Chains A and B, each alone.
Chain A
Amino acid sequence: MSKDLRNYKLVIWRQASPQEKGGFEQYQVDGISPDTSFLEMLDILNDRLIKQNIRPIEFDSDCREGICGACGCLVNGQAHGPRQKATTCQIYMRSFENGDTITVEPWRAKAFPVIRDLVVDRSSFDRIISAGGYISVKSAKHADANAMLIPKPDADQAFDYATCIGCGACVAACPNASASLFTGAKISQFTLMPQGRVEREKRVERMVDQMDREGFGGCTNIGECEASCPKGISISAIATMKAEYLKAALSGRTESNASDGAM
């Protein structure tokens, strides 16, 4: 075992319920190995809190290997902490010096209300997806997977956009709490593929509509979303969304009521 054990002062947002006001609390965590992950460090702290009869700190996590998008909080003012292209579960205590004060806050957005401590409600993302983030497929006989030819660059680009895990870091990092990178990535991934072209105009109309209805802010092209995205998704996705929107508006092939659920 490593002899290099470190001590940290944690300043963490505590809020028992959506209704409660909440505030920052300080905790001392000692004897942490630098190879401990950030979330394991919180687990260790929670064990001690439970023994002291203090309500443990609530936070989301599932895969703990950067693929599910469940985890996420602001660590020292940065979405998912100090490492680029990493999720909160992928940061380790070696990123912090012995004796550091670490401030931990939940994602902040009107469309991401705090449920408890560091856990926020991201169902607004689900509603943007259900508004138009799908394609129509033939459900009869299983088709040959390679029957439809797709240019390699398009497939690669679509795949880059499809790596979005929906963690919400883009919203958290954006000074306007905009969901443009998320929505743009989801729209772009379908638009680049022939299978996604059928609902093209309706999709962008409905998804942008839903994004606005959820109360996310607009995009001012700051680029902090791209820098904070654990998958490094480019803001070109946002430009694509805007171009799609313009094309849809000019084509006239859209629907009047995007909330009726039928396409």
Chain B
Amino acid sequence: MLTVRKALTSTVGRKFIMGASGLLLVGFLFVHIATNLLLYAKTGESFNAAVARLWSLGSLVYLLELGLAALFASHIVVAITLKRGHREARPDSYRMSVSKGTVHNNPASRNMAVTGIILLVFLILHILQFRFGPGISEGYSVVINGKTERDLYRVVTEAFKNPIYVALYVAVMLFLGSHLRHGFWSAFQSLGVLAPRISKVIYALGFCLAFVLAAAFLFIPIWIYFDLGAGL
């Protein structure tokens, strides 16, 4: 039988995992940017309130975090095994290799593993910096509705007063845009749902989505560094 195990370990099956986990991660990015757009507000009140609302879910937050970690882990582990297979499939490389002309063969598509690894390294740093960054006990606290909550807004805005972090976040978001420029369309192709008619539409949609997501994240550090919200 085409067992679940085999279906998930064949080259075709592993791309189902890549595509599905990739699209779910895109879904997460939308949830993430929804909250982060509040960082563009004049004060940190609304952002901190949104963060407090999330943590009021209690242990459910840990469950969500676990799910997200599993999503990242499956995406990354499968990516590594696939990449190894691709390398082994061509032990001797060509002396010359020239594209015969296709829109999908571009720096974004050829460097998915590179942009992926950059995102992974960034992810670790990002989580250490904000998720496990200073909290109430370090004095980063605000009172919301009579309750003492973590002042995450201050953690973020202080970080982005450092030009090195600003440059780093901006650069990584460009790589995220590149990853999604190919990845979004590629996921649909991997899941086998792309008829030629809609392929171009999805590819264009992937560009828009990559552009909008990357831009929305990318301008947060710039916005904070130059204090652009003060003029609002």
Contacts and interface: CB of A to CB of B under 8 A. Distances in A.
A242 B191 contact: yes
Interface in B85-130: 85-86, 88-105, 109-110, 112
A41 to B, nearest CB: 18
Contacts of B194: 236, 239
Contact of A84 (B6, B86, B100): B100
B90 A222 contact: no
Contacts of B103: 223
B2 A108 contact: no
A177 interface: yes
Contact of A74 (B91, B94, B109, B190): B94
Contacts of B88: 110, 215, 217
A243 B1 CA distance: 17
Contacts of A117: none
Given A74-B97, A108-B92, A234-B196, 4 more contacts: A84-B101, A217-B11, A223-B103, A242-B16
Interface of A: 11, 24, 74, 76-79, 84, 103, 105, 108-111, 173, 175-178, 180, 201, 205, 208-209, 211-212, 215-224, 226-228, 234-236, 238-246, 248-249, 252, 254-256
Interface in B153-212: 182, 185-186, 189-196, 199
23 contacts: A11-B95, A77-B94, A77-B95, A103-B96, A105-B94, A105-B96, A108-B92, A110-B88, A176-B86, A212-B10, A217-B86, A218-B85, A219-B11, A219-B190, A220-B86, A223-B102, A223-B104, A227-B100, A227-B105, A238-B189, A239-B194, A242-B191, A245-B10
- Interface of A, secondary structure class, is mixed
B149 to A, nearest CB: 44
